[in-house]
């Protein structure tokens, strides 16, 4: 049995001195040209297998660059599902690579359903398979889930995560333009739907068997970084919860917005940046400095993002 997921997160965030998580959302057409040209020239016909091989290569090299600097990576399965079963095999291969590099791995899968189906999804995405022929496959350390079904649809994931020493992050509030229509839908007392959902997640998170030595639960919340009022209120109310905060960087949330989810010691939130890091080599400011050395660009983007978040933390305190 591995140590409690939340305790591993605390240790990783403290040792890397940052809440920054690198999100892997790889699109073939945006890969560095050196990687693309290698795979396009090495096969007679460029096919789906070549594309996923190139994506695997890019993601592995990216993780090797970022592993000494960040506690975790978030792998977005949608970008792998596009390549059907070959993409899924690559997704799991990357989880093993990340594990070898000492990174915590969050599978951004947003699964959600009721009853038996929720149990099956939990088994698929959180249980290290004991199946013969697949026993070397690793499930991620945590996944994101969709809690639209209410507590029935959350508990099967939380139970499986707890049994496996893993974690879940329930999607509570996103920062896309139309999110408010549903997620801020408010009752007669002004309580919003996402606040109601947060209460349910808070109850699931609070169960004694889910709390680690660090005082944190293995059940967390996904909350977009663009709403500072939301972040401050949720951080205060749900003391035992880790927040996974998307939207830092390309999606427009500032460092100041995001660090409001952290506690003063820097734990309690994972702040995800995807495109602003993994495509850093597209940005003039890095390109001018490092030319075609795309890994140097990514490395520098991580250094800059960590500094940006550290400065924001200091201003906050």
CB of 252 to its own copies, least distance (A): 12
Q: Which residue has the tokens 């305790």?
A: 7
Smaller CB separation from its own copies, 1 or 132: 132
**16 classed as catalytic:** no
Q: Cβ of 190: how many Cβ atoms within 10 Å?
A: 7
Smaller CB separation from its own copies, 2 or 150: 150
Per this entry, what is the length of the chain?
A: 317
Among 30, 110, 287, 296, binds its own copies (CB under 8 A): 110
Smaller CB separation from its own copies, 82 or 296: 82
Smaller CB separation from its own copies, 182 or 303: 182
Smaller CB separation from its own copies, 13 or 277: 277
Over the window 163 to 202, marking each residue x when it contacts its own copies by CB under 8 A and - when it does not, the resulting string is: --------x--x-xxxxxxxx-xxxx----x--xx--x--
Candidates 9-17, 48-56, 227-235, 288-296: pick the segment binding its own copies (CB under 8 A): 48-56
Among 35, 38, 69, 86, binds its own copies (CB under 8 A): 86
Among 69, 101, 149, 256, binds its own copies (CB under 8 A): 149
**Residue 25 binds its own copies, judged by CB under 8 A:** yes
Q: How far is the C-alpha of 258 from the C-alpha of 317, rounded, in Å? A: 14
Catalytic residue among 82, 110, 207, 296: 110
Among 124, 233, 256, 310, binds its own copies (CB under 8 A): 124
CB of 107 to its own copies, least distance (A): 11
Residue 17 falls in which region: left (phi positive, over 0), alpha (psi -120 to 50) or beta = left
Residue numbers annotated as active site: 110
Contacts to its own copies by CB under 8 A: 25, 45-49, 51, 76, 78-79, 81-89, 92, 108, 110-117, 120-121, 123-125, 129, 131-134, 137, 146-153, 171, 174, 176-183, 185-188, 193, 196-197, 200
């Amino acid at each position: 049995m591995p140590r409690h997921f939340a305790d591993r997160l605390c240790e990783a965030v403290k040792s890397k001195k940052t809440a920054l998580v690198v999100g892997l959302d790889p699109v073939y057409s945006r890969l560095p040209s050196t990687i693309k040209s290698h795979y396009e020239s090495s096969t007679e016909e460029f096919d789906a297998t070549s594309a996923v091989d190139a994506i695997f290569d890019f993601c592995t090299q990216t993780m090797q660059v970022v592993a000494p600097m960040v506690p975790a990576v978030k792998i977005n399965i949608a970008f792998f599902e596009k390549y059907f079963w070959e993409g899924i095999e690559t997704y799991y291969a990357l989880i093993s690579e990340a594990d070898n590099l000492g990174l915590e791995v969050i599978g951004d899968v947003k699964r959600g359903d009721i009853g038996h189906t929720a149990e099956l999804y939990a088994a698929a995405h959180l249980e290290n398979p004991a199946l013969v022929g697949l026993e070397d496959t690793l499930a991620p350390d945590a996944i994101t889930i969709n809690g639209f079904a209410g507590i029935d649809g959350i508990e099967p994931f939380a139970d499986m995560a707890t049994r496996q020493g893993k974690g879940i992050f329930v999607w509570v509030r996103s920062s896309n333009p139309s999110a408010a229509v549903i997620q801020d839908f408010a009752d007669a007392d002004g309580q919003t739907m996402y606040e109601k959902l947060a209460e349910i997640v808070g109850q699931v998170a609070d169960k004694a068997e889910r709390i680690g030595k660090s005082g944190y639960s293995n059940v967390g919340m996904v909350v977009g970084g663009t709403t500072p009022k939301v972040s401050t209120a949720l951080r205060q109310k749900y003391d035992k919860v880790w927040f996974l905060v998307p939207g830092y960087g390309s999606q427009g949330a500032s460092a100041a917005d995001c660090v409001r989810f952290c506690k003063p010691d820097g734990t309690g939130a994972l702040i995800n940046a995807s495109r602003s890091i993994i495509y850093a080599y597209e940005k003039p400011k890095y390109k001018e400095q490092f030319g075609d050395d795309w890994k140097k660009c990514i490395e520098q983007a991580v250094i800059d993002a960590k500094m940006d978040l550290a400065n924001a933390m200091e201003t906050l305190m």
